[in-house]
Amino acid sequence: MSSSGPYIVKVASYKGGVGKTTLSVNLAVALQLMGAKTLLIDSDTISPSVGFHLGFEGSNIGYSQLLSSRGNIRDVTSVHAPSGLHVITGSIGSKHAVLTAAAEGRIMKMLKKSPYEFVVVDTRPEIDSVGSLKKTDETLVVATPDMPSASAAIKIAASLDRQRLRHSLVLNRVKNKKYEMSLHEVEDLYEGRVGAVIPEDEIVPISIEERIPAYILDRRGPFSSSIHRNAKFYYSGHGLTEDSGGYYGGTGIFARLKRLFLWRRG
């Protein structure tokens, strides 16, 4: 564990529905079950959905209260009994869902002093998620292996590079079909290593239906095995892969987009 408090990871994408919440929930559950005290925060103030994976959808305390009040983290934290994971859920319909600079400073200070080893922050789909914490230790940029998603991911990468914030790419819903972009093609556009590849697995929609995280529901399946491998890397050294170490300092959005448009044209 770092002496300066927990390692804070934000999960982001410019496109909706690529698997941010699925990754956030299952990575956090896996870290907790490996023995690392972990806090999961749902910072999607418009359409929070962490609760659907965990069976918390009735919860009315959470992130919005943290933004609007002077309350501390403990007051708005729920415990997911099957895993012991601590969770700050989102609550729909709050009037106070805007993250001011002052609130962000206050929350970051509390998080850095908290007893957790890891904090995983789920966000809503935006290039710089308005309601979510900006200066996290790392951003996991989630994309699916197709052009629209990859192009959205490189926009986030360029934005994070400009802010000199560390990021890694997670490729989700990989089916290994011919029409998908290959790992190499995605890495070339992203100008960094793909930190994690997560397969398409029907246990994910089943787990949402059952309100039991996929990592618990089918611990040995392809999805959970991939989550486990990646959580283990984090657990053993704070970084998504042993050697990627995140990335910043790319050539910028235009060079990346140019390569995207030349993609497969030879």
Binding site for Mg ion (CB under 5 A): 20-21
Instruction: Please give the C-alpha separations between residue 204 and each of 45, 87, 131, in angstroms, as whole numbers.
Output: 23, 20, 26
Applying CB under 6 A, among 194, 204, 212, 227 the residue interacting with ligand ATP is 204
Overall residue count recorded for the chain in this entry: 266
Cα atoms in the Cβ-side hemisphere of radius 13 Å centred on 164: 0
Helix (H, G, I), strand (E, B) or coil at 233: helix
Map residues 51-90 to x or -, x wherever contact with ligand ATP holds by CB under 6 A. Answer: ----------------------------------------
133 vs 238 by CB, closer to ligand ATP: 133
Q: Which helix (H) or strand (E) holds 39?
A: strand 38-42
Q: CA-based angle 94:143:46, to the nearest 5? A: 10
Q: Footprint of ligand ATP on residues 205-224 (CB under 6 A)?
A: 205, 208, 223
Applying CB under 6 A, among 34, 200, 211, 252 the residue interacting with ligand ATP is 200
Applying CB under 6 A, among 22, 26, 59, 91 the residue interacting with ligand ATP is 22
> Which residue stretch of 64-72, 84-92, 159-167, 199-207 sits at the interface with ligand ATP (rule: CB under 6 A)?
199-207
Asked if 17 interacts with ligand ATP (CB under 6 A), we say yes
Tell me the C-alpha distance between 32 and 85, whole Å: 6
CA trace torsion 153, 159, 161, 165 (10° rounding): -100
Map residues 139-178 to x or -, x wherever contact with ligand ATP holds by CB under 6 A. Answer: ---------------------------------xx-----
Residue 205 binding partner per list ligand ATP, Mg ion, none, with a CB distance cut-off of 5 to 8 Å that depends on partner kind: ligand ATP
| 194: nearest Cα among 152, 230, 237 | 230
Token pair, residue 174, equals: 């990989």
- Please report, as ranges, the residues that interact with ligand ATP according to CB under 6 A: 13, 16-22, 44, 49, 124-125, 172-173, 198, 200-201, 204-205, 208, 223
